[in-house]
Every structure is written in structure tokens, then in C-alpha cells.
Chains A and B, each alone.
Chain A
Amino acid sequence: MGQEFVLLVSASIFCVGAAGFMIRKNPLIMFMSVELMLNSVNFLLIAYSSFLNSLDGQIFALFIMTVAAAEVVVGLAIILTIFRTRHDMDVDHIDTLKG
């Protein structure tokens, strides 16, 4: 399959993730949308490392996975803490800093 197919699939998944981040109100699903975006970029890097016969893309994808894992763990802990103090899962209601 050519490079155009990879670009189109990756762009589609990235845009689906961006749409999900904007339209959903549940912070867990917003996090899942962020994961979708990170994964689409990972796929692009790995496919291009195969096309260009160089391993740098795969190393980059490995580091993206590491950072994403750390980010998910901290983000879920923050969501849990917010839920413990507020008992509410709608991000539109978290507006204490709004002034």
C-alpha cells in the first residue's frame, strides 16, 4: 500500500480524535481521544520508518508511548481526585478558576 494511504488513515484517525476531544464532556473519553491522536502519529512514524528504511521513527514512537503512558497515569489520578472532591464528571461544571 502506498504512502498516500498511510497519510489518509493517519489523518482520519487524528481528526476523529480531535473531534472527540471537542464534543465529549466526560473527561475519561476526552483522554481516550488524546490516545487516538497519539496513536495515529505513532502509526505514521512507524510506516514512514519502514518506507525510508531507517529506525529513527520507531525509536520516536517508542518514546511517544512512554510519555503517553506517564500522561495517562497522572491524568487519571487527577480525574479521580476531582471526582472524589466534587462527585461530578462533567468537565463543563469544573469552572472554579473561571473568575
Chain B
Amino acid sequence: MEIATVFNFTHDAVIFAVGMTAILASLGVILCSSPIYCALYLIGHMICLALLFLLYNAEFLAVVQIIVYAGAVMILFLFIIALLGGKKEVQENTFHRAMAFAFVFILLGELYLSATVGTTQPIRGEIPAELFGTAKAIGLELFSKHVVAFELASGLLLVAAVGVICLAKFSFAPLRRRVR
């Protein structure tokens, strides 16, 4: 066998394995009773997605995924779980739950059908292959074509930080528990 064939086969096998692991980890997120296990499964899912980003030539975004999601956001989730106490949730099978599953299965079937439509109109970019997905290419694109959106995103983050400080700083008088 040629070396290129072996490489392509291995590449496909790795992508398949990582994709399936990502799906299984996402199932673990929604099916575990304890919030701390859900958070751990979500970290595993994020790492699988970062690997997939790497396999699809997006090295800068893979690093950003690890730092922002698996690092910052998940640490925030874990702190909140530690603060609020990770109580186990009783999961009972109700009519509402069956309806939710039915809706989601229909949605999944529709998405699978639409995935088989095939290409409509190919649009080809002109990024050279050795530069694709690197921090340099992303930076060139970001600071030339998307400067306004970049500045607006920085404003959004600032507003979010100020809003969180306002929410967390001022304490509200506790409400009386509603009598049922």
C-alpha cells in the first residue's frame, strides 16, 4: 500500500473516533444526574472538539477553544457548582420528557435528511495552504476585514463584565418562599 493511502485512512479513522467520542461525551452531559459529572463530561467534549478543530486545520481556534472553554468557562461552571452545592437531580419519565425526546428525534431526522442534499454552489477562497488557520492568517483577516466587529466584541465583553459586577455586588432582599 502506498504511504499516502495509509495516511488518509489513519486520518479518517482518527477523525471518526474523535467525533464519536464527542457525541458520547455530550450524551454524558445531559444524562448524568450530578452536575459535577456533567461539567467533567463537558470538559471532555470541549477537548474532543479542540482535537477536531486541529484535524480540520484550525490550530489557532483549537488553542482558543482550550483556553476559553475548557479553561475559563468550565472553571467558572465548577466554581458555581462548588458554591451552590451539586445536588443530584431526580430524573423521572414524564409526558413532557417523552414529548421533548420525540421533538428532538424528528429534528435529528430532518437534519440527517438535509445533510444528504449535496453541494449546491461551491465557493472557493484563496488562502494559501501553508498559512491556513494559523494565528497570522486569522490576525490578518480579523484586523483588515472585520475590524468593526472586533471592536464591537471588545465592547460586548466590557459590558458583560460591568453587568456581572452590578449583579453580584448589590444584594437583594430575600423573597419569601411562595406557599403552594
Size band of the interface chain B makes with A:
35 or more
Number of chain A residues close to chain B: CB under 8 A: 70
Assess the A76–B103 pair: CB atoms within 8 A: no
Assess the A65–B64 pair: CB atoms within 8 A: yes
Q: How far is it, in angstroms, between the C-alpha of A5 and the C-alpha of B103 when the chains are bound?
A: 23
- Is chain B's binding surface mostly helix, strand, loop or mixed? helix
Which residues of B are at the interface with A, using a C-beta cutoff of 8 A? 11-12, 15-16, 19, 22-23, 26-27, 29-30, 35, 38-39, 42, 45-46, 49, 52-53, 56-58, 60-61, 64-65, 68-69, 72-73, 76-77, 80-81, 83-84, 87, 89, 91, 97, 100-101, 103-105, 107-108, 111-112, 115-116, 119, 122-127, 129, 132-133, 137-138, 141-142, 145-146, 149, 153, 156-157, 159-161, 163-164, 167-168, 171-175, 177-178
What are 28 A-B interface contacts by the 8 Å CB criterion?
Answer: A8-B115, A11-B108, A11-B112, A12-B26, A18-B104, A18-B107, A23-B100, A26-B35, A33-B30, A36-B45, A39-B69, A52-B123, A53-B124, A54-B126, A55-B127, A59-B146, A62-B64, A63-B153, A69-B73, A70-B157, A72-B73, A74-B164, A76-B77, A76-B80, A80-B83, A80-B167, A87-B177, A89-B87
Which residues of A are at the interface with B, using a C-beta cutoff of 8 A? 1, 3-5, 7-9, 11-20, 22-26, 28-29, 31-33, 35-36, 39, 42-43, 46-47, 49-50, 52-56, 58-59, 61-63, 65-74, 76-81, 83-89, 96
